[in-house]
A and B are shown apart, each in its own frame.
Chain A
Amino acid sequence: MSLAELICPAGTPAALRTAVDAGADAVYCGFQDATNARNFPGLNFTPDELAEAVVYAHAKDAKVLLALNTYPPAGKVDLWRQAADTGTRLGVDAFIVADMGVADYIARTHPQVRLHLSVQAAASSPEAIRYYCESFGVKRVVLPRILTIPEIRQIRREIPCEIETFIFGNHGLMVEGRCSLTNYLTGQSTNMDGICSPASEVDYARHDDGSMSSRLAGFTIDCFGADEMAGYPTICKGRYTAPHRPEAYYAFEEPVSLNLSRLLPQMIDAGIHAFKIEGRQRSKSYVRNVVSAFRAAVDDIRAGRTANIADLVALTEGQKQTQGAFETKKWR
């Protein structure tokens, strides 16, 4: 049976303390800049805040993983290198990286710190994962959300590192780390600036009939009826019309969150080392509720008890949840 570590999100120091207190084995977070994929306004950590967070987490036997999981634009690597230097000085337990240049710098400069390969690297084959392990000493891969549990079980036999998978939260496009939709409309890059649907470019308009439009950079990406649940203002979850589809439809995917609580026993049995909860942009309330629920579930399963997972649907996007590709390749 795997260690089944619970890897939990924190967008602020208070959220990190909440996650640790709720039972996180490790908390992942980022600096207030483009080095991480949740570079949102008012979110993330200053170096001083991260220093205090590391002390807090370590005092309670929890690890801190620093996300450096964006791609530096060509020739502009200093920010990522400085972040790695700072993280090392502050004693973080691992870096989560996607870019080979960043991985190479850390492997050469800070070889004592663990490297985890971000989902943003989209490494989903044994060959790709082995390349990162052999070239940069990667100790853990966060798998893209496109694999079934039997496939993950098979990959585990063929790679020399640990496996981490998402179990809950926002469910993005499937070639992760390659999405350019935000860049297309706003000029800002999800993968290099760390910003998906920048808040400064988002606006909402309420209409007289109770419906609400969400727009990004002036383009309407959805209009929710008065009685409809809403989703994030991301292009991939929008509804559009087309000449052959006069009724607005989800051209990419629907607002929905991943929730693998029912599959946890199979995933632990498959030898997955760590389970990741998405949501650094979410509140302490979300962190407290989701982490507590999965902490109890993992503990129950490891103790041989049946897990009774709390209902988390109220926290899911559009109040809809899926097991995605983990359950079946027929998804999408």
Chain B
Amino acid sequence: MSMMNHTAPAMRPLSGAVQRLACLAVQPILSRVVKRIAARHSSLFARLGPHQTTDYLIDPVELPFALHLRPDPQALLFRAVPRESLPLSGAAIRGPFLLLLELIDSEEDGDAAFFSRDLEISGDTEAVVRLRNALDDVDGSIAEETADLFGPVGRAILARLRRSYSDATKGNMYT
């Protein structure tokens, strides 16, 4: 439990071509991840209620792209989108990537991240609250399940990311 102080520095603008390339590179991973999570944690859809068809924009500020999620169990959508052409969304969640990762796993508290202004939300607040509560009811670690998909390399990357987060929160690198 440790909050960063305010938002991480936003990504320096990259050219549209680089952003699109980054999206193409990560898309196969995102598709695989979201299918796996949906299959293993199908109960989370009930907590989303009418917001299964809401378009969420999840914006990790340091990355060259944002994430577009539509958690419709009949037609799951999770894709990387270039910052230069963000889609219309019903709700947006913005914060440092590592904080978002910790929030997905309930290693950090969303309300505390909101109080500290590390996390910003806009659009339909009920949609955000439902997504938060749905993810919070998942047992285990979505991040670790994702890492497991990629074997030892995935687990090593996750461990590295978590060390970075721990160092960042101790050193307040985002102040």
Q: Interface on A for B, CB 8 Å cutoff?
A: 11-15, 17, 40-43, 198-200, 202-206, 212, 224, 227-233, 255, 281-286, 289, 312, 314-319
24 pairs, A vs B, C-beta closer than 8 Å? A12-B137, A14-B106, A14-B136, A15-B136, A15-B137, A40-B133, A42-B47, A42-B48, A42-B134, A200-B124, A200-B126, A203-B125, A204-B120, A205-B122, A230-B114, A230-B115, A232-B111, A233-B125, A282-B109, A283-B110, A283-B132, A314-B1, A317-B111, A319-B115
Chain B residues, CB < 8 A from A206: 120, 122
The answer to the question of B9 belonging to the interface, with a C-beta cut-off of 8 Å to chain A, is no
**A293 to chain B: closest residue by CB:** B1
- Contact check, A282 vs B111: say whether CB atoms are below 8 A apart: yes
- Contact check, A14 vs B137: say whether CB atoms are below 8 A apart: yes
Chain B residues, CB < 8 A from A212: 117, 120
The answer to the question of B70 belonging to the interface, with a C-beta cut-off of 8 Å to chain A, is no
Chain A residues, CB < 8 A from B132: 42, 283
Chain A residues, CB < 8 A from B107: 285
- Contact check, B125 vs A200: say whether CB atoms are below 8 A apart: yes
Interface string of B116-139 (1 = CB under 8 A from A): 110011111110111111101111
Known: A12-B133, A199-B125, A205-B122. A315 touches B109 (CB 8 A): yes
- Contact check, B139 vs A286: say whether CB atoms are below 8 A apart: no
For the complex of A and B, the 9 pairs showing the least CB-CB separation, nearest first, are A42-B133, A42-B130, A12-B137, A199-B126, A284-B106, A42-B47, A202-B125, A200-B126, A286-B109
Known: A200-B125, A285-B1, A314-B2. A41 touches B133 (CB 8 A): yes
Choose from A229, A283, A316 the contact partner of B136 (Cβ within 8 Å): A283
The answer to the question of B108 belonging to the interface, with a C-beta cut-off of 8 Å to chain A, is yes
Known: A14-B137, A204-B120, A230-B117. A42 touches B129 (CB 8 A): yes
Known: A200-B125, A224-B117, A314-B1. A11 touches B109 (CB 8 A): no
- Contact check, A284 vs B130: say whether CB atoms are below 8 A apart: no
Interchain CA distance A314-B129 in the complex, whole Å: 20
- Contact check, B116 vs A229: say whether CB atoms are below 8 A apart: yes
The answer to the question of B79 belonging to the interface, with a C-beta cut-off of 8 Å to chain A, is no
Interchain CA distance A231-B114 in the complex, whole Å: 8
Interchain CA distance A42-B123 in the complex, whole Å: 17
- Contact check, A43 vs B126: say whether CB atoms are below 8 A apart: no
Q: Interface on B for A, CB 8 Å cutoff?
A: 1-3, 6, 47-49, 103, 106-112, 114-117, 120-126, 128-134, 136-139
Chain A residues, CB < 8 A from B138: 14
Chain B residues, CB < 8 A from A228: 117
- Contact check, A284 vs B117: say whether CB atoms are below 8 A apart: no
Choose from B49, B108, B125, B139 the contact partner of A17 (Cβ within 8 Å): B139
Interface contacts beyond A11-B133, A42-B134, A283-B108: sample of 16 additional A-B pairs, CB < 8 Å, sorted by A: A12-B47, A14-B137, A41-B126, A41-B130, A42-B48, A198-B126, A199-B125, A202-B126, A203-B122, A203-B125, A206-B120, A231-B115, A286-B109, A314-B2, A318-B115, A319-B116
Interchain CA distance A12-B47 in the complex, whole Å: 10
Listed residue (A12, A15, A17, A282) with the most chain B CB atoms within 10 angstroms of its CB: A12
Interchain CA distance A319-B112 in the complex, whole Å: 8
- Contact check, B1 vs A289: say whether CB atoms are below 8 A apart: yes
**B137 to chain A: closest residue by CB:** A12
Chain B residues, CB < 8 A from A314: 1-3, 112, 116
Query: Could you tell me the distance in whole angstroms from the C-beta of B150 to the nearest C-beta in chain A?
Result: 25
Known: A12-B137, A17-B139, A202-B125. A285 touches B117 (CB 8 A): no
Query: Could you tell me the distance in whole angstroms from the C-beta of A326 to the nearest C-beta in chain B?
Result: 22
- Contact check, A286 vs B122: say whether CB atoms are below 8 A apart: no
Query: Could you tell me the distance in whole angstroms from the C-beta of A88 to the nearest C-beta in chain B?
Result: 25
Listed residue (B108, B114, B125, B131) with the most chain A CB atoms within 10 angstroms of its CB: B125
Interchain CA distance A227-B117 in the complex, whole Å: 8
- Contact check, B47 vs A315: say whether CB atoms are below 8 A apart: no
- Contact check, B108 vs A285: say whether CB atoms are below 8 A apart: yes
Choose from A14, A199, A317 the contact partner of B115 (Cβ within 8 Å): A317
Known: A224-B117, A314-B2. A14 touches B109 (CB 8 A): no
Query: Could you tell me the distance in whole angstroms from the C-beta of B6 to the nearest C-beta in chain A?
Result: 7
